[in-house]
Structures are given as C-alpha cells and as structure tokens.
Structure 1
Amino acid sequence: MLHPDLKSSDKTRGPQHALAEAISLADALPGLEVIGADVVPLPTARPGTLFGTGKLDELAQILKAEEIELVLIDGPVTPVQQRNLEREWKVKILDRTGLILEIFSDRAATREGVLQVELAALSYQRTRLVRAWTHLERQRGGLGFVGGPGETQIEADRRAIDDAITRIRRQLGKVVKTRELHRAARAKVPYPVVALVGYTNAGKSTLFNRLTGADVMAKDMLFATLDPTMRSVTLPDGIDIILSDTVGFISDLPTQLVAAFRATLEEVLSADLIVHVRDISHPETDGQARDVAKILADLGVSETTPQLTVWNKMDQVTGEASETLKNIAARDDAIFMTSAVTGEGLDALLDEISARVQAERAQETLELPFSAGKARAWLFEQEVVEDEKQTDEGFVLTVNWTARQKARFAKL
C-alpha cells in the first residue's frame, strides 16, 4: 500500500491518517492482505510513471524481494501511469477508485445496489482503455476494399462498454421506478423521514440497530453498510417516524460513485431531518465532518433541511478529552453525545428528534380548480384538509399543514 504525498496537494488531513484509512479500506476487502504500507513524498507527480526514477527502482526491488502481486496506490492513477507501472514492476496496480469499486462490488446486496456498482465500474473501466499492448494497435476486420479499415480493438472495447452501460441504465430505470412507487406509497403515510448520514464507520448502523431493533450489518470496517435500509420507529412519546440508514461517505469519493449512488441517497434529499453521526473518537473527526458536509452540498441537500449532530463513540473517549467535548456540546443545542454501543445519550437524542419532527402547523385557505384533482387528492392523503366547499370554479379547502408539506404541495 502506497500513499503518494504530493507537496502541491491541498491537504485536509495528515498523510499518516490517510494511509491508515487506505489500509482500513484494503482490510474491508475479503481475501486481501496488506503486508506493507508507506507514505511516499512526491515533489511533483510524473505524468508517465507518477514516481521518479529513483523511487521506481527502489520500490521495484522491494516488490520483487517480497514477491508482491498487487500494489494499492491511495490516490488517482491515470491509465498511462497504471500501464507503465505494471510494466515496470510486473505487478497489478489498483488505485483508490478501483479499490472502493471492488469493495462496493463485494458488498452490494440489493438489485439496485448491484446495478449501481456495475454502472460505476463500467464508467471507470472505460477510462482505462489505453494502448497497453500491441494487439490493441492493429486494425481489425475488412480486406481493404470494402469500407476501408476496420475499427481498432480499443474502439470495439469502448463500444461494448457503452452498450453494457446503456443496458444497465435501462434496467436501473426500471428499479428506480419501483423505488419511486415505494416512495410515493410512503408519502401517503404522513410519517417524517429521519436520515442517518456520516463518514464511513462512524457507527450509523450500530445506532440504527439500537433504535430500531433491526439486524443491519454493523462491523468495525469501512463501508459495512452499502444499500440503504429503512425502518419504522415509534419514538418514546408515541410519534412514528421512518429512520433511514445510508451508505457511509468518504473523502475523495470517486466521481463515478457520486453519480451512480445519487439515486441511493435520494432518501437523504427528501428527509425531514438529517442526523449527522460522527465518530468523535477518531483523530480526523473534524476533517471527516467537512467531507460529509461537502458531499451533502454536492448532492443538493437543501440548507434549510434541519440537521442534528451526533458525537458517537463517546465510550472510546476518556479523561480530559471527554470533559472538553462535554463542555463544547453543552453550549450547542444541536450536538448530542452518544454511544450506540452502551446506549449513552440516546434518550436525549430521541427527545430532540421528536421535537424537531413535530413541526409547527399553519392554517390556510386554498382555491383549486376542478382540473387540480391530483393536488386535491394529495392533500387528503396527507390528512391536512379540515374543511372543503365546492364552488362553480372548483374547490375551496381549509388546510392545516407544516411548512414542509406546503413546499411539497407547491411542487405539485
């Protein structure tokens, strides 16, 4: 495992912590054993080989002596760099994007998750098509007198990938329609949606299991949860909510996966309350929080969506550090200190969630034409109609609704 430490890069975290996270990623893939890891300082990245000549030779000797078959590089590696490094070292190269895709491919369980991973992997593979071997440079097909030379092998491979992408998108479209039907069915039940988000391995699934009594996979590893899980939860004061456990975020998330899993994270976009779960015991917890905030913004989560912050894994923080965190949290009503393992702080968190989802309601009078049957039906499904009168032009309704319901109605 190699972590290139570029001097010119914008560092939001230390290289040693970045390397530790990369090792955790590798450990999350079954059958993969990391026998060595190192941070490699780089003044600049070489376009052809990433590393300089001296470092190339030094690493080549180590790889040969240790009989290494796979080298993981924690960072982006261009197709040309990958080809040249594999030629130079006689090993297989896998960069950060490729490793995350391998993990996602191993973990995907639902039909949508599998299709999303396949789509992301094909998009990634398409960028890897380079003239790595001689046979990819030869012309195929045609005898020269009918339509000229045939297509190159690369063009054929690219066309095959494009065809596969089109096929998967078509299948994914059907799955997404099914999800939309499920979402529409849930919309008829006026239960608030509370989404758990956070950096991978922050303890979201353990917290989810504790609150719902579910049995979602919860392990001390990155990306233990991949597919979204939703459960109905009755809060202590009797209010029903839908709690959603989502895939964990990570810094430098591959662009292919951001696009591919946008549909998976749609529950976050439509949530009434977002609960940001942080591993407060992690040395890079502040940097992780910034990464989560950036990804939420990239996904288009509205700034007006209410959010709570949960400082989880407090059972792993002791002494002076624990007291300091408690003093900070005491000054901020939106921060809750919890341990999903011991149950510490969960009662206060549930009370706040209950208070947040019971939004203030306002009474208004609406005039709808006869042609607005769909909007009228939606109002009755939401159980917000208190009175209705019919006129020559349509209907006059008295509704009692929340600001969020009013905003949703406006989109109809």
Structure 2
Amino acid sequence: MFEKDLNGVGTPPGFFPNLGDKRRITLFNTGTVQTLADTDFLFKKGTPGKTIFYVLSGTLKVVSADSCSPGYRFKTGDVIAETSFSAGEDRISSIAAEGPSTVFSLDPAGFETLGVEIRTAILGRLHDTVLSRIKYLDKQTKSAQFRQAALTKYIVKSRKHLENYGQSEIIVNILKSIPRLPLHITQLIELLSGQRASAKEVAALAKQDPSLVVDVLKAINSARYALPTKITDVSYAITYMGFNEVYQIALSRGLMKSIPDSVEFREVYRHSLFLSFIASELCQSYDRNRAALLSTIGLLHDLGQTVLLLLRKQNPKWSLFIETLDSAKLGAMLLEQWNIPKQICYTIEYQAWPAFRQPADILSDQKENIALLYVAHAVYDHLANRALDALDHPFLDEYLRLLGFDDCPGIAEVSRDIVLEGLRRKSQRLPDFVRKLIGPPEPRANLRVV
C-alpha cells in the first residue's frame, strides 16, 4: 500500500529511506500530499502556521517582493519548517512552487503522535536543510560584500575629480564672487565649534552687530517665551535662550547677507534650519558638547546648494555644467574661503559618504560628526513623511550602532523618542513650520541611550 501510494503521487524512493518500510508507511499515512502548479503559494509571509512540509518532487522557492536577487530554492528531500518549532506563530517568508511540485504536509498534532525514531529522522532532515540554507546565505553574503566593495570603489573613484576643484579657475572665481560672512559671525562659529564658549564671550561678539542684538532681544521678548517682564540685557537674553538658539539667529542673519533672498533659497534654508534642530537634539542623547557644532553643520551643510541656485540664476546657459558640480564640495570650499573651522568644512564635504560607505571605511576624526549629520538627514526624511527605502540608507543600522543607540532601533523610534521629544519640549520657541512638522506629542516608548 505504501509503495502504491508513493507511486501514485510520483514520490521518489528517497522518502526517509533510513526509517524502513513500516515507519515510512506510518509517517506517510499520518500526513497529506499537496499538489502545486507553477507559482502556486505553499504559504505566504505573515500567515499563521506550524505545519511541517517535505518536498516530494519539483522545486519551491522563497519569494520576496523587496529583493532583486533569487530566493533560496527547496528541492526534493528538503524539509520546510521555519516556524514549526519556534515560539513565533506567523510565517517569516513566502514560499511558492517553481514549476509543478508535490509536497508532503504534516501538522503539529500528527508530528506528536509519531515515534521517537520518526521524529528524529524528520528533525535530522530539517537540520540538513537548514545547514544547506546557512551555506547558501553565507555564499550570498560574501557575494553581496564583494559587490558592495566593488561599487564603493567605483563611486570613490568617480568622485576623485572633486579633488581638482581647487585648481579650476572657473570654480575658484565663482566662490570668490560670493560675499563673505561678517567677521563676527565667523568668530562666533569658531568660538562655539571649540565647545568651550561662555555667555560673556558670545555676548561680546553679538554686540558687534547692533542688528543682531535687536533680533536677539526681539526673539526673547516674543510670545514664544512669554516672559512677564521685558528683557533689555543681551547678555541675560543669551544666557536664558541658550547658545544654540542665539547662534542660529546670528548665523541665519549672516547667511542672508551672503546669499540673495529667493523662494528657492528660503526652501533650502528652511530645510537646513530644521536639520540643525534635529542634529542638535541627537547630540543631547549622544554628546551634548557637540550640540552647537552640529547645529552649525546643519545650518551650513547645504550652502553648496545655495551656490548652485545662485549660479543657475546668474548663468542659465551654463545649466548643464552647473548640474555636474558637487554641492557638498562647493560648500566646503566656500566655507574654507571664509576661514570656517576645518572640522565643519570636512564634515560638510564628506556628508554623502555614509550613503555608500560603512563607518569602518570612513577613516577620519570627523566620523562621528558625519554620522550625526547622516542620521539627522534620515530623521528629517522620516518626519517629512518621505518613504525610507532600504536603498536610501543602506548602512543606517551601522551608523545608529556607531552612535551608541541601544539595541539599534529603527529611525522611527529615534525620531519619536529622541528628536521629537526634545523638540516638543521647546516647541514654543521653534519656527511655525517646524512646529507643524513635529506635530502633537505621542506616547513615549522606552529607549535607553548609552
């Protein structure tokens, strides 16, 4: 009867041959046989199930909607039991037939009725299948690592020409035509980037620009602070508001003087301002001493974009040439020309590196600043409701780990539990467009930062 049943479904003689006929018959009669046509699903990801499957004939493959590479293929004699012996109830992947196939199915209740020898044989075949999958995944991992290294090498090589920007007379003359930041703003950037500034020193620099003093006093006496008495002492205002907020006012004024106002510029500026708030909040959890520095980097990181906007406006016939210019490199060169500290210039110049390089491949003492700016961008994209595809931030987990976020949470948790929580505490002091983006408070999850 057993041989007849086996032949009836076209099962090869390799169906657990070491068990002997009696046990094989017992096992076969305990389960059922499924026939699958090409592309039929054995099961889909997320569906509950503990059934054990044995491939009698044909081929089944793991199907993934978000992968371009072929999934693992189960062939005759393989056991499929990804959740059968785990605590999880739902299938972790989808498996479909690749051509006509037959599968032997054994539910958990049936498995429990079998003798020790039969169950051991099933687990042994499952072990062999899992070992085969591990070898396959190891091979795939090595292949992916090789391709990643090759692509990274190609990208780095393709960016080699950026080193020659300084020898380009056209680019140098373009940058020289842009007005410099006021001297006291440059000095303020240098002071705060050193992470040892005092309120007295900041106030002394601020007083060099009467219009800046007016803006600071106007801000602290606004409805956002709602103080009971009017403040006229700029030193007190700076102490009360904090370096970051005063600094953002000062730097914003300086940039407005250097870059002509336009709708496009205001859009870039708003993005940079919001990013500076995000970067500063990340530093509150990572390293508070970096907050002013990263706030500066956030405000200045897209300076090269404003240069490109200016160039397009002034030279529409050069549009094709202008599109080929690297905005980060332009911004860094302009900041160097303005005598901005090198750590700021370097971080801005190499801000794109985390998109194609792992942290270990960035050999720089500014690695952490580059990582903070990169994560701030990912948070910005999340808060702006931009879909975060894995291809947009392929090494995001590595950079979160570098910055010490415990358990390496996703960007949604970092955005909610670190950035939004901090920004909402000071929401009354933030620009209206930022308050709209951060939205109302949400329940806080437990997240510990080390």
For normalisation by structure 2, the TM-score amounts to: 0.21
Higher helix share: 2
More strand as a share of residues: 1
Structure 1 or 2, whichever has the larger Rg, is: 2
